[in-house]
Structure 1
């Protein structure tokens, strides 16, 4: 997100949040006693772990590293526990904080070990609660530093900089970014003693949160950056999955698709959903969705209709053009926007889940979604309007738990014959390269 919606079942879940010592300890012990996780991979349009499909029902919580580093580990543990209690299996969070009083990266290549140890704790605690992580390398926006901070570092070094979009083209600044990527990938966790690039707790790497390059509406500059950085990440870590972190806006390579964007300017920001995701090294497509902020009129029906169309278009593209899973990496509704209601939030979340299930049940590319965003008691000061505290949102807790159950049952009931039959088998044959042949 640019930092510019049963009751009996729900009450049972809420009671585990507020009075859960025994259950929490048992849950953690069960996870710790499991065999080592397999690394998440992909086959055709679906994610797999040890030859079984893996579907995402997840969430965003961006502040985990910073709070962990500064004596607030209890909030990190609490939000991961609450997420795990409703079956959420993937969390997307920041692996960056560029400059500032609590920075991870103080200056290019210089790190605050205390903050890095905070990220180490997040990884170890996520594994303890059975949650995998998507780690993002940098922000397009100014919050937590972002590309503007990289550009400022370049200016301080005497570079001739014209605008923040030089982040994507200046060789020195690109070198700063690559050095940060290398530092993250090669980091050895001080708690688990596992190098990040070898840790299956990490679901995927993300190049940048919500990239935009409006100085080049053609998209050429951003495309070149994606191709270069994807290749660089894969040269160090060819095993983990990699995504871009895009919002899903269509660009000039598909002018007819641009009509689906929420606004004209969305298509002029230098991103190009289909073209960008055809870059070598990108393993799955990322899409964000905020109809309450993108669709200005406070019309719930119009916002829901946009959301359905937006999702289905990207699922169809992933099925028929890209041949890869698509993850709706951010979706949410803000209490700060005109027309907000808890009822609409519930309806919106249910729409997202149902749209994905229709794809999932037929072996399509709709691989999952991550709610923006989960918070817990004590973190209200960081709330951007989208925060959901599961202990205070029983309807959302119920829906998330129900979606987790549906996806788990789908994996349990699906045999390999089903998994690689029908539509998904055709997609696999169409898009799998020679070195990605399915196991017999």
Structure 2
């Protein structure tokens, strides 16, 4: 399994910087034989450009093709679909970050847990954020975590918690608790659930799933937030990642939804400062890796062009490499999101179909090669700072 040593990931004693992608709907398409092949295609495309880590949902609560139809009641066919996703990732030598619930209503999320609490347990809850504090809802979530981590894959016969294919568990996609802007409610929940996960599975890495917003306890860092609204999300990048059991930090980057839908160079300026502030904090205050687990720009935005998207990807990639060459905490990034052809109906505007965009494919492939060479040649002398001339000289030219 990939492990952590200080502010870097390691695998077999060598550094493990990553280049990755998101494709959240893999389990959903795997549940239907007519679309299951798209899962294999996705991993084939990812492998072809050297991507090593993928992030996807290990949840679908209520609704269409639900994994969890009601608390602790699962659809075995959908669970087998998730088994297939994990087994295909393993076959293509790609590791997975599996997210365990959504902050948003898509695919159920915390709102569905509140609905279950009201309907099944006779509770009288009025806020989605009761998910973080009510004992019944916390027990629902803990039961789901236990079920997924103890699942025996029907394709590989390997228990999820023992499978090195899984890079990390994610507590919640984009966790927020706006009902408590102080951040106390979410912090208590993170600490409790991190302990719960580590009790079941002490071996895999664990992350929260945060967007990276700075909260009221770090007023000096709020200047880096994209807007004032983000500072009221009930999260705090530094405080939340100091919770016992959390192994690495996460950050998302969406200047087109946080700042403006008018694509411009201000996006690139924001990405530069946003990445550097979080890498600095991971280096100096957290002492752990930070992964930029979602980033992209929507083709629906004004002034969008493939050339600009390529520039954004270049900017992110170069910041990762700059950190890596200094032995820094920038552990890697995951593009949102990788698509095969023929699934346009799942497109949220951020799809990247590599067969349609050769320039983007080439950029991704080059970054993967740089990271692969860096991981394999770097001997990590002197406090994990790479001073191996062979490593530096072997890297392809800057993007």
Please tell me the TM-score bracket, short chain as reference: over 0.9
Structure 2 stretches lacking a partner, 5+ long: 388-399
Question: Secondary structure, in 3 states, of the residue corresponding to 1:334?
Answer: coil
Match of 1:145 among 103, 108, 127: 108
Q: CA deviation at 1:282?
A: 0.3
Given that residues 53 and 419 in structure 1 are in contact (C-alpha distance below 8 angstroms), is that contact kept between their aligned partners in structure 2?
no
What is the aligned partner in structure 2 of residue 95 from structure 1? Answer: 58
Mapping for residues 173-184 of structure 1, pairs under 5 Å: 173-184=137-148
- After superposition, the CA RMSD in angstroms is 1.2
Return the TM-score normalized by structure 2: 0.95
Counterpart CA distance in 2 for 1:421 and 1:391 is 37
Structure 1 stretches lacking a partner, 5+ long: 1-38, 424-440
What is the aligned partner in structure 2 of residue 194 from structure 1? Answer: 158
Q: CA deviation at 1:379?
A: 1.0
**Greater helix share, 1 or 2?**
1
What is the aligned partner in structure 1 of residue 179 from structure 2? Answer: 215
Return the TM-score normalized by structure 1: 0.86
Deviations 1:118-176 (A, max 9, x none): 01011111011110000000000000000000000001121121300000000000000
Q: How many residues align?
A: 385
Counterpart CA distance in 1 for 2:342 and 2:136 is 40
Match of 1:259 among 207, 210, 223: 223
What is the aligned partner in structure 1 of residue 272 from structure 2? Answer: 308
What is the aligned partner in structure 2 of residue 60 from structure 1? Answer: 22
Q: CA deviation at 1:421?
A: 4.6
What is the aligned partner in structure 2 of residue 283 from structure 1? Answer: 247
Instruction: Kindly report structure 1 stretches of 4+ aligned residues shifted beyond 2 Å.
Output: 416-423
Match of 1:127 among 83, 90, 95: 90
What is the aligned partner in structure 1 of residue 392 from structure 2? Answer: none
Given that residues 187 and 195 in structure 1 are in contact (C-alpha distance below 8 angstroms), is that contact kept between their aligned partners in structure 2?
yes
Question: Secondary structure, in 3 states, of the residue corresponding to 1:42?
Answer: strand
Residue 327 of structure 1 pairs with residue 291 of structure 2: yes
Counterpart CA distance in 1 for 2:62 and 2:90 is 28
Q: Which has the higher contact order (CA 8 A, sep 6+)?
A: 1
Counterpart CA distance in 1 for 2:161 and 2:282 is 27
Mapping for residues 102-121 of structure 1, pairs under 5 Å: 102-121=65-84
